[in-house]
């Protein structure tokens, strides 16, 4: 848990910073203006760009998080009196992966992460803007409760869309600990569905959705209020 917590500020900064600057560049403006909202396809393009930018920072962090969260085989296989985890922490995990698999090992599953984040972050930001506009009168600025609700809904929608590829991404990231099992994204998808059925793509959806609403509600409200105060 320590590694993603320590890095979440940087990853969110990259994501929201890339989105804001891309949207301002596309629209040719210097700051966000609620009275003249951007076109929806501009929002989607800027969000997709943000997804691509932040992937290259979040990929190693996410890989280490997944490896540590799924560290169970070493405990099952070793004798109770000499149980020792394979990874002693996030930095030890990173060093081990680098030694065993090289720099490419730290970016295992990155293609699946790109497929997950680029379209879904576009949808994420688009959902927020659409809901804010739907709940606000023309020419008015959304209030805090609107931002909270729209942010929560955007997070839930985004994760619902991302969940199938998130399952595949996590399996590719775990691949390599006990030998390579999948030849790529398509092979992982086909193998997983063949073994467990289509329901495998919905694994973790409930937990992700329950987490996404409050987290993204607060995230968007904080983002909007900080931008407003800085201006």
Confidence at residue 32, expressed as pLDDT on a 0 to 100 scale: 80
Distance (Å, whole) CA 114 – CA 227: 27
* Band (177; pLDDT cuts 50, 70, 90): low
Alpha helices in 136-184 (DSSP H): 144-174
Confidence at residue 125, expressed as pLDDT on a 0 to 100 scale: 97
Residue 82 has pLDDT above 70, yes or no: no
Confidence at residue 84, expressed as pLDDT on a 0 to 100 scale: 58
Instruction: Find out whether 146 and 224 touch, Cβ atoms under 8 Å.
Output: no
What would the pLDDT profile of 132-143 be if each residue is shown by its tens digit?
Answer: 999 998 878 899
* Band (170; pLDDT cuts 50, 70, 90): confident
Q: At what angle do helices 2-27 and 110-135 cross, to 10 degrees?
A: 60
Confidence at residue 231, expressed as pLDDT on a 0 to 100 scale: 77
| Ordered structural domains, the chain, with CATH | 2-230 (1.50.40.10)
pTM of the model: 0.86
């Amino acid at each position: 848990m320590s590694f993603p917590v320590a890095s979440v500020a940087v990853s969110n900064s990259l994501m929201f910073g890339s989105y804001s600057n891309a949207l301002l560049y596309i629209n040719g403006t210097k700051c966000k203006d609620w009275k003249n909202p951007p076109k929806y396809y501009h929002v989607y393009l800027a969000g997709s760009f943000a997804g691509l930018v932040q992937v290259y920072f979040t990929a190693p962090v996410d890989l280490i998080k997944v490896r540590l969260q799924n560290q169970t085989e070493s405990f099952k296989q070793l004798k109770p009196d000499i149980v020792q985890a394979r990874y002693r922490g996030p930095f030890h995990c990173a060093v081990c992966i680098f030694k065993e698999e090289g720099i490419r090992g730290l970016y295992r599953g990155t293609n699946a992460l790109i497929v997950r984040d680029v379209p879904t972050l576009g949808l994420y930001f688009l959902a927020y803007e659409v809901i804010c506009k739907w709940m606000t009168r023309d020419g008015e600025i959304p209030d805090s409760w609107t931002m909270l609700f729209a942010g929560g809904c955007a997070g839930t929608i985004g994760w619902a869309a991302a969940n199938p590829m998130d399952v595949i991404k996590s399996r590719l990231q775990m691949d390599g600990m006990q030998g390579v099992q999948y030849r790529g994204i398509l092979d992982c998808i086909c193998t997983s569905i063949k073994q467990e059925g289509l329901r495998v793509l919905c694994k973790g959806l409930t937990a992700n959705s329950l987490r996404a609403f409050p987290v993204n509600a607060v995230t968007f409200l904080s983002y909007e209020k900080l931008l407003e105060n800085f201006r």
